[in-house]
Amino acid sequence: MGMSNNRKKSSECDASFDSMDKLIAFRDEHIYPNEEVFSRQVNEGDRWAAVPVVAELQALAREQGLWNLFLPEPEYGAGLSNLEYAPLAEVMGCNEWAPEVFNCGAPDTGNMEVIARYGNEEQKEQWLKPLLTAEIRSCFAMTEPGVASSDATNMEATAVREGDEWVLNGRKWWISGAGDPRCKIAIFMCLTNPEAGRHEQHSQILVPMDAPGVTVVRPLNVFGYDHAPHGHCEIMFDKVRVPYGNVILGEGHGFEIAQGRLGPGRIHHCMRMIGAASRALEMMIDRANTRVAFGRPLIKQQSVREDIALSACQIDQARLLTLKAAQTMDTAGNKGARDLIAMIKIVAPNMALDVIDRAIQLHGAVGLSQDTPLAHMYAYARTLRLADGPDQVHMMQLGRNLARRREV
């Protein structure tokens, strides 16, 4: 039995290394050379339409087996563990749209995980299958403007059962992916039983985006970026009716599902953020080696060398912590890894902000412009301090957990 398990683990590791080599080659040959093409196609056409170059690269990625790499269930994805997938997510963090090429972009990844693990067969057939093939896209409607959404149980949106239907009402915002015309399904988190225990009051319900009463009000900008065609939108749900069977896992399991969804999602985000920081460091080094000021290359300046050295140290520290969290999730589950997950959510975005800021400084004004990806990266890193739970909440909970262990 032990030898069989070892052979299985060895086979999985070989698959992970093979995917890593192929992914890096694909990035260098197809992602980087098409960044200008992506930008041009978004800006010259309908900003809220599918981008042709992404569809072309998706077909190529699928042919090479670089598809749905994030799903640990072999019947749906590559069958990789969190630890094995994490370095792949780092490679995909090279820019904002690369993960979509491999069908590994948020929020679709989290939504597919939810439906695969908690959905019934009918829900999998109707929604998981087309998501797995990138035929459609999806969004996760949780954050609300009227309450502090840093508290996941603090929610005003409601779903009331009327016969064989749910009637949904509420306003959501910062709903990533809702601007994409291919977004056909939302997972709507809402209050269904206010009399139940604090963590049993909520449910998650599948809501078709074309259901009467669903209105995408507007896209919201992040530091001036609309992130079209993906978008981060405000959505109104006004007396929306869906079948009662659209609830995932049954009533009262919304918080449980959210916790199961956010653990892997935070790993993915943090590794992508490390990938962005690594690219910023590479750009910093290239700039320092080629840019001349005061009669010599910038790399000759002591402060520049220190910035490069400190950035490399911070990236490796964050990477190793994130890999430790991923391994602990694989061996002890999300609950057993909760402190490490909190740590990476605190460390990775702040690390990336430091590194990208240094890269911008070294590039000068061009680092603020559309001529490099650095400004986009900085906006993404700052956003990640808030997305999937503000880092201050993670610090509060981590500090509480650590203090409790010292109680006599």
Q: Does 8 score more than 60 pLDDT?
A: no
Distance CA 24, CA 8 (A): 24
Average pLDDT, the chain: 94
Res. 18 pLDDT band, cuts 50 70 90? confident
Instruction: Go through the domains of the chain in sequence order and give each one's CATH number.
Output: 2-132 (1.10.540.10), 137-252 (2.40.110.10), 255-405 (1.20.140.10)
Measured between alpha carbons, how far is residue 105 from residues 92, 232, 235 in Å?
A: 9, 14, 21
**Helix, strand, coil % over all residues of the chain, rounded to 5:** 55, 15, 30
User: Strands 137-141 and 202-208, how do they pair?
Assistant: unpaired
- What is the structure's pLDDT at 262? 83
CA-closest candidate to residue 274, choices 353, 329, 338: 353
- What is the structure's pLDDT at 14? 60
Distance CA 123, CA 243 (A): 12
Tell me the pLDDT tens digit for each residue of 154-173.
899 999 999 999 999 999 99
- What is the structure's pLDDT at 52? 97
- Type of residue numbered 249: L
Segment holding 174, helix H or strand E: strand 165-176
pTM of the model: 0.93
- What is the structure's pLDDT at 152? 76
Distance CA 118, CA 378 (A): 35
**Mean pLDDT value of segment 357-371:** 97
- What is the structure's pLDDT at 2? 47
Return the structure tokens found at 220: 């919201």
Contact indicator for 67, 80 with CB cutoff of 8 Å: no
Contact indicator for 174, 280 with CB cutoff of 8 Å: no
Question: 6-10, 229-233, 340-344, 388-392: which has the minimum mean pLDDT?
Answer: 6-10
DSSP letters spanning 185-242: EEEEEEES-TTS-TTSSEEEEEEETTSTTEEEEEE--BTTB--TTT-EEEEEEEEEEE
Measured between alpha carbons, how far is residue 307 from residues 280, 281, 282, 351, 372 in Å?
A: 12, 9, 12, 13, 19
Q: Does 371 score more than 80 pLDDT?
A: yes
Return the structure tokens found at 356: 């990208």
Distance CA 239, CA 175 (A): 19
Q: Does 339 score more than 90 pLDDT?
A: yes
CA 240 to chain centre: 28
Tell me the pLDDT tens digit for each residue of 55-66.
999 999 999 999
Tell me the pLDDT tens digit for each residue of 23-78.
999 999 999 999 999 999 999 989 999 999 999 999 999 999 999 999 999 999 99
Q: Does 263 score more than 90 pLDDT?
A: no
- What is the structure's pLDDT at 13? 57
Instruction: Name which residue leads in pLDDT, 3 or 113.
Output: 113
Q: Does 97 score more than 70 pLDDT?
A: yes
